[in-house]
Amino acid sequence: MSIVIASLIPDILGLNGSSANAEILAEYLRRAGHDASVVAVSTPEMAPPSVDVLCVGTGSGSSVGPAATALIPLARVIARWRDAGAWVCAVGTGWDLLGQSVVTSQGDTLPGAGIFASRADHRGERFMGEVYGLDHHRRPSAGYVNQVGSVVLDAGEQPLVTVSSPESYPASDGLTGDRLLATRFGGPALALNPHWAQDIAQSVVEEAGGEFHRRDFHDRVEHHAARARELIKARLGVTAG
Contact 152, 141 (CB under 8 A): no
Distances (CA, A) of 21 to 38, 72, 91, 121, 181: 10, 23, 9, 24, 12
pTM of the model: 0.96
HEC letters along 151-166: EEECCCCECCEEEEEC
Tens digit of each residue's pLDDT, the chain (241 residues): 799 999 999 999 999 889 999 999 999 999 999 999 999 999 999 999 999 999 999 998 889 999 999 999 999 999 999 999 999 999 999 999 999 999 999 999 999 999 999 999 999 999 999 999 999 999 999 999 999 999 999 999 999 999 999 999 999 999 999 999 999 999 999 999 999 999 999 999 999 999 999 999 999 999 999 999 999 999 999 987 7
Contact 222, 195 (CB under 8 A): yes
Residue 212 and residue 32: Cα distance in Å, rounded? Answer: 6
Residue 162 burial by Cβ neighbours in a 10 Å radius (0-12, 13-18, 19+) = middle
Distances (CA, A) of 188 to 16, 65, 151: 8, 23, 20
Q: Can you list the positions of beta strands (E) in the chain?
A: 2-8, 35-41, 53-56, 87-91, 101-103, 109-111, 118-135, 140-153, 161-165, 172-173, 175-177, 180-183
For the domain bounded by 2-236, which CATH number is listed? 3.40.50.880
Q: What is the pLDDT of residue 156?
A: 96
